[in-house]
């Protein structure tokens, strides 16, 4: 089993594909981390950097049927900084045991050019700030 390492962020960018893979460990069990993604009231508290306003459509929030957790989520999004870029993101939640979760998101962007614009506009900063806010939210219970 892989030991959790809360706080680190790995961002992988394939130079030939319009993709971004982001991996991060959290000191919370998968159901709590998943809920932070799927509950609109929680998602707006951490998604996006401090310079971005996040809106979640509760009618379309992912999360399964309420009886059993879904193994992964799929969502679309755009960034204000690159409004022409359309992204499809798949997020998985891996139970690392001992109340820790590894989150891996695979974003497929419509073009390599748009992917490069996202990364040059501060993607690493946005991800780091957002996940720091998520850490605070998860530690508050």
- pLDDT tens digits for the chain (141 residues)? 455 555 789 999 999 999 999 999 999 999 999 999 888 889 888 986 554 445 555 444 445 555 556 678 888 877 777 888 888 999 999 999 999 999 999 999 999 999 999 899 888 888 999 999 999 999 987
72 three-class SS: strand
Residue 39: CB atoms within 10 A of its CB come to 15
- Kindly report the pTM of this predicted structure: 0.83
Residue 43 burial (10 A CB sphere; 0-12, 13-18, 19+): buried
The pairing of strands 100-109 and 72-79 is: unpaired
């Amino acid at each position: 089993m892989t030991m959790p390492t809360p706080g680190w962020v790995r961002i992988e960018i394939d130079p030939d594909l319009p993709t971004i893979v982001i991996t991060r460990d959290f000191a919370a069990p998968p159901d709590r981390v998943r809920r932070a993604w799927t509950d609109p009231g929680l998602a707006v508290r951490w998604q996006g950097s401090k310079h971005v306003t996040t809106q979640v459509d509760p009618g379309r929030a992912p999360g399964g049927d309420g009886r059993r957790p879904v193994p992964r989520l799929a969502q679309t999004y755009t960034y204000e900084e690159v409004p022409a870029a359309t992204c499809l993101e798949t997020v998985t939640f891996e139970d690392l045991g001992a109340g820790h979760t590894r989150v891996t998101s695979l974003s497929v962007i419509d073009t390599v050019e748009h992917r490069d614009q996202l990364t040059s506009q501060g993607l690493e900063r946005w991800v780091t700030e957002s996940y720091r806010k998520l850490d605070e939210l998860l530690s508050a219970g």
